[in-house]
Amino acid sequence: MTENKLCLDCGKPINGRSDKKFCDDACRNNFNNKQHSDANAFVKKVNNALRKNRRILESLIPKEGKITISEKKLKEAGFNFDFHTGIYETKTGTIYRLCYEFGYMRIEENRYILVKREA
């Protein structure tokens, strides 16, 4: 006696191997995407914030690679200080927060220096 297995996503009968769980790749992908949607949404939100921060820094830093700017201007551009990709400490102990190849550091109360880090 064979047991009719049903697809875990759409509920249709499954043909083929006995350990098969889905009727096709589309159902397998759909099922797994639903299972991981919470984690995927969080990762997507973080990645979007990082990309936005990078675009803002890239647009503000001149070709010379350095500029001093107010915190207000960064915030008006939509910069989110909660997200960065790393921290870089210079030989002199100065610490920059990085958003990919772009860095920023508070130099006084409401002023930041923005730099592009050379590879």
pLDDT tens digit string along 32-76? 988 888 778 888 999 999 999 999 999 999 988 899 999 999 999
pLDDT at 1 > cutoff 80 = no
pLDDT tens digit string along 9-33? 999 999 888 899 999 999 999 999 8
pTM for the structure as a whole: 0.71
Distance CA 59, CA 18 (A): 56
